[in-house]
A and B are shown apart, each in its own frame.
Chain A
Amino acid sequence: MLLPQTRNIGLPMMNLMRFKGLPILQQLHIEEQLLRTSSENWCIINDGTNDPTIVMGVSGKPAELLEIESVLHDQVPVIRRFTGGGTVIVDHETIFVTFICNKEAVPDLQPYPRSIMSWSGSLYSKVFQGIGDFRLRENDYVFGNHKFGGNAQSITKNKWIHHTSFLWDFNVRNMAYLKLPKRAPAYRSARGHLDFICRLNDYMPRSTFIDKTVEAAGTQFSLRSLELEAIETCLETEFRPSTRFLTSEELEVAAAVAGQ
């Protein structure tokens, strides 16, 4: 999408990378490396990922969060990512949007979780203006009291990342792999997954959501589109991301310890 240059004078530069169906582990590795090694600002949009994958936050305990027996039986991959937050199951119906920013990129923004979350809420308010009673509610993106996007963050000395998985649509069967989390927002009111979440598909066409997100980002940053190939030579080959798959053995041990 061509952005009017006159609107971008004086705005900080942000690199925009768009993918379709990039494996989620690869996306997370790119994000972790850019957070740790790049001095630039980034927006990454991945329109769906390939295989259904469970993604836990950094402190996630498989026995508490997953129906491990089913996960192992159906060989669903499980990733532990480098950011905080909860557990999601993602697939080709999930849209991922990530912002990686220098501390100074957003004026007057303190690099703390609630401030960054509030900033993201106001950005997405522009995307969903007039649609479905959108708001940031107890750190979730909701329409009314139904969650449609899970987000998480990581904050370093000089940068922060805020990334979101939006439920464009979801497979009801996949939700059965996830237990009800012990730690849940009050507005969830102990509702099961299917009563708690909703589909973005019911509110906005897929391409419209992506276009409006890029447009909203363009009001605060001067966007420059980049392809992955353009940055692959710059990504440090010695960087070792912490984000990884959990092995079957680890899941089996977790289940055994928890007495599942």
Chain B
Amino acid sequence: IVLFPLVRHSRVRAYESELRAARLEAVPLEPGDPHPLKSITVTDSKSRRGGGRRGSTSSSSSSGSVAPDPLSSMLDGTDPLSMFAAASASEAPTLSHSTAVGSGRKRREKEEEVGPDFEPWSAKRGEILARFTTTEKLSIVSEKIHWLAPSPNSTVSEKVRNRLEELDDMEEGSQRELLNLSQQDYVNRIEELNQNLKEAWSSDQKVKALKIVIQCSKLLSDTSVIQFYPSKFVLITDILDTFGRLVYERIWSMCSDSRAMPESFTADDVNDTAKETCLNWFFKIASIRELIPRLYPWQLGCTCHIFIGIQETLPRLTAMIRGIGDPLVAVYARAYLCRVGMEVAPHLKESLKKNFFDLLASFRQIHSDSVQNQLVLQRVEIPVYLTLYSPAINWILQCVSYRAPEDYINCAEIWVEFTCRHFTKREVNTVLADIIKHMTPDRAFEDAYPQLQSVIRKILNYFHDFSVLFSMERFLPFLDMFQKDSVRVDVCRSIMEVFIKHQQEPTRDPVILNALLHVCKTMHDSVNALTLEDEKRSLSLLINGFIRMVSFGRDFEQQLSFCVEARATFCNLEPVLVQLIHTVNQLAMETRRVMRGNHSRKTAAFVRACAAYSFITIPSLTSIFSRLNLYLLSGQVALANQCLSQADAFFKAAVSLLPEVPRSITVEGKLRSSEAFLLDFISNFLSTLLVVPDHPEQGVLYLVRGLLNMVQDYTWEENSDAKVRVYISALPLLAAMSQDTYLYAIPKVDSNETLYGGDPKFLAEVNKLCETLIGQVLDHLKALGRDEGAGVRKQGTLAFSLFGCLLAHGDLRNNKLSQLAVNLWNLSHKHGYCDTRNSVRTLEYIKHQSQQPDMAHLSEMALRLSLQSRA
């Protein structure tokens, strides 16, 4: 590329033509405009002849008496063009081709400041050209350019003279009117101008190049064949772009050591010569008479960084556009300005916004008479006319909204409510997609969590049907924008709250399940070592709410596999695991109900699978009472489903877990003795054991014995009667076990009563066990008797409990037993610590019972029980 043709070091003088050049430059005259110099110039016909070949297009007058014309002599110095020439003279040799290329590369890098997520103008071009076409005839009418230009004088150099000739050429060429052009002709003509521009530039005819640019800009004020205007805009701004590139590279290369220039150079980096050149361009452009031909090159100046101080220039240009009366011309000028703004200073949002607001403010212009008349004249309908605006408005909006996440999200937050209220999920999904698109670059969402949360809340307000909600394909990606853990969990929480509140029916919708599993998993995964118990509890509650709402109906296996999956997903939240075990137990019971108690081979296998699920899940719980209770419960369920060995395993597990129960546990943050809980559990356990049949390979009552052995070996609290209490409470069980028909039974499960059929050996075993227990209790009572204080009081209470037990369950016709009972009564009353009212009532009960058949022996015993035994 020969940007800067070599300029001679010494000037060749051609005095004749220099003389000719001494004419004043043609200054276009308005009719009636007094020519400032006319009055004192003498028309020199000779000099015009001298100019021979070019007739009289320029007013060839030369000043008669004026000494060196100041205007033209300036040309030699500060005129930008001579500046270029001068610069090339001194710099051309040092400027290598690579510098120019290098600067081009730099420029491209600069453009990339906007980022690849910004759809560039070049992407819009083709579409606009294809969309806005016409079959009407077009015309290019060029007028003279009015600007303030210094006039030549007698000392003007050859160089300047040449330029003046070019100007005249240009004016000659431009003064024609090209009519009846087809669209293609028009495009060709514009392309021709583009080529002319490049040629003019490369042959150092900078003013000609600028004039072409101004001429082209002028075409943009012409709205005849209005439907072609957008395409015209594209074609002409292409030329402007070409010019901008050339100027930029020129100025770049004028900075003597352009290699060392920072990528985005500022006024300080530019040397004086380049600065002066820029200023000259600036003054030249600022003095262009007409608004639009001034406005476009001015904007172009921004892209070339000619005008240092973009901060002020962009708002000024924005305001200047208000002077354009035609709304279509104005909107495209705004689009161009936005484009310039995005290119040079994408961070200066203010003027982009101002452009947009000005656009709104002047929108009513569309309905002005001027526009309407024009449309009538051109026979263009309003709807067609309005489409002409779309590329420009689209572009302006794209610029305004680009990386303006804050404004964007504030609008979107409001907009989404409107969409939710009045439209369907499809439109809401579109809005979500758009929000994602805008908030993802630069992780803009990080600053907009409150708004994004509000978006979610609004959607949840209007969409209670979760199958609809989750069928919006951008909903989950939207949730992915909440990347700060606390916010993310909050959002999930609010979703789950709405779900639990509004979901009426259990669901098996895979979309809902997948999405909510994802949501719940998010909540679950937020749990770490630092999570507060309360937090865990509330999260668990929400997840449990979800699990409870999942039902696959009769598809039990599916349900079980869901629980398997859920267990894997929520393994860190104990309450959820507990819920899952309950769910599975319930599932087993549901199966039993459906089968009316008669399991098929398949359902039997299934309930065993349920049992297995519980069996392997329970050990992972840390709370020992949860484990115990769940073992017991699951054992009961297994038993109910005739899974004897499974039930056995549960109970055995429960028994073998007993020694691990700590003496104190934490309940609601406070350390408490576990004794009461343990006693409760054991009582519960004992009552279950009534129906549990003995294992054929184990000894009689092996579970009961096992349990009692554990009780015996357990390290109870010191001075505690708990162990003895357990013994006492085991007595009713043993009594129940020795009945012919048990108090309760499980359908289809044979309890010991059936297994042993009242075998005396079995009964003897039971009796022996009773005796052992009673013996233990009595030993304990004896031991308590040695302690005068609290021991005696406890002794009384325990003795009375045992008495009650014997009374209720023992066969008091047995003299030994009845004697024992009487002794116990007396013992309990011995120290006067017993509750008299209780005693009285007991006595009344005994007397009442003695009225029953076969109970006469009680009346005899009652006589032996005295109320007053206080010593």
Co-complex (A, B): no
Binding site for B on A (CB under 8 A): none
Q: Chain B residues in contact with chain A, CB under 8 A? A: none
